[in-house]
Structure 1
Amino acid sequence: MRFIFKTDYAQDIKLAKHGGQVFWYSALMLLMFAAPWLFAEYWLAQLTLVLIYSIAGLGLMLLAGFTGQFSMGHAAFLGVGAYTQAVMTNAGVPFPIAMACAAGLSAAVGVVVGLPALRVKGIYLGIATLSFGFIVEEVLARWESVTGGNAGIHIKKPDIFGWVLETGNQFYFLCLVVTVIATLSILNVLRSPTGRAFVAIRDSEISAQSMGIHLAYYKTLSFAISAALAGVAGALYAHNLQFISPDQFNILQSIDLLLMIVIGGAGSVHGAFLGAIFLIAMPQVIAQVKDFLPAAVGQAPGLQGLVYGLVLIGFVMFEPMGLYGRWLKVRTYLQMFPFYRKGMFKRQKSFQKSDRLK
Structure 2
Amino acid sequence: MSNFFYRNYRLSYIEDRSLLHGLQNFWTKFWLVALVVVLLLLPLVLQKYWIYTLNLAAIAVIGALGLNLLTGYAGQISLAHASFLAIGAYSTAALAKAGAPFLLVIPLSGAIAALVGCLIAIPALRLKGLYLALATLAFFVIVDFAIRKAEFLTGGGAGTHVPSPSMFGYTLTGDQSFYYLSIGLATLCAIFVANLQRTWVGRAMMAVRDSDIAAEMAGISIFRTKLTAFALSSFLGGMAGSLLGYYLQFINPDNFSLSVSVAYIAMIIVGGMGSVTGSILGAVFMTLLPEVLRISIHVLSRVLPALDVESKGAFVEGAVYGLVIILFLMFKPEGIARFWRDLLVYFRSWPFAH
TM-score using structure 1 length: 0.89
Contact 2:15 2:21 in 1 (8 A): no
Residues 152-301 of structure 1 mapped to structure 2, 5 A cutoff: 152-291=159-298, 292=300, 295-300=307-312, 301=314
Aligned to 1:355: none
TM-fit CA distance, 1:340: 6.3
Contact 1:106 1:231 in 2 (8 A): yes
TM-fit CA distance, 1:5: 11
Name the CA distance, whole Å, in 1 between partners of 2:351 and 2:216. 44
- 1:322 is the counterpart of 2:327: no
Name the CA distance, whole Å, in 1 between partners of 2:9 and 2:204. 25
Q: Give secondary structure in 2 for the equivalent of 1:191.
A: coil
2:324 alignment partner AA? V
Q: Do the aligned partners of residues 201 and 52 (structure 1) sit closer, same or farther apart at CA in structure 2, a change above 3 Å counting?
A: same
Contact 2:278 2:336 in 1 (8 A): yes
Q: Give secondary structure in 1 for the equivalent of 2:44.
A: helix
Q: Do the aligned partners of residues 184 and 109 (structure 1) sit closer, same or farther apart at CA in structure 2, a change above 3 Å counting?
A: same
Q: Do the aligned partners of residues 218 and 50 (structure 1) sit closer, same or farther apart at CA in structure 2, a change above 3 Å counting?
A: same
1:321 alignment partner AA? E
TM-fit CA distance, 1:25: 2.0
1:36 counterpart (17, 35, 43): 43
Name the CA distance, whole Å, in 2 between partners of 1:118 and 1:135. 20
- 1:12 is the counterpart of 2:6: no
TM-fit CA distance, 1:173: 1.4
Provide Cα deviations, 1:128-177, integer angstroms capped at 9, x if missing partner.
11111111111000000000000101111102253321232221111122
Which aligned segments of 4 or more residues in structure 1 are displaced greater than 3 angstroms? 2-10, 293-298, 330-341
Unpaired runs of 5+ residues, structure 1, are 342-358
Provide Cα deviations, 1:98-155, integer angstroms capped at 9, x if missing partner.
2122011000011011112211011111111111111111100000000000010111
TM-fit CA distance, 1:10: 3.9
Q: Give secondary structure in 1 for the equivalent of 2:125.
A: helix
Aligned to 1:312: 325
Provide Cα deviations, 1:189-229, integer angstroms capped at 9, x if missing partner.
12211111111112221222221111110111010000000
Contact 1:16 1:22 in 2 (8 A): no
1:112 counterpart (105, 110, 119): 119
TM-fit CA distance, 1:23: 2.5
TM-fit CA distance, 1:326: 1.9
Aligned to 1:142: 149
Q: Give secondary structure in 1 for the equivalent of 2:100.
A: coil
Provide Cα deviations, 1:259-318, integer angstroms capped at 9, x if missing partner.
011001111101111111112211111112213156354422322111111111100000
Q: Give secondary structure in 2 for the equivalent of 1:302.
A: helix
Q: Which moved more, 1:72-81 or 1:91-100?
A: 91-100
RMSD: 2.3
Unpaired runs of 5+ residues, structure 2, are none
Q: Give secondary structure in 2 for the equivalent of 1:188.
A: helix
Contact 2:65 2:279 in 1 (8 A): yes
Residues 55-94 of structure 1 mapped to structure 2, 5 A cutoff: 55-94=62-101
Name the CA distance, whole Å, in 2 between partners of 1:126 and 1:171. 34
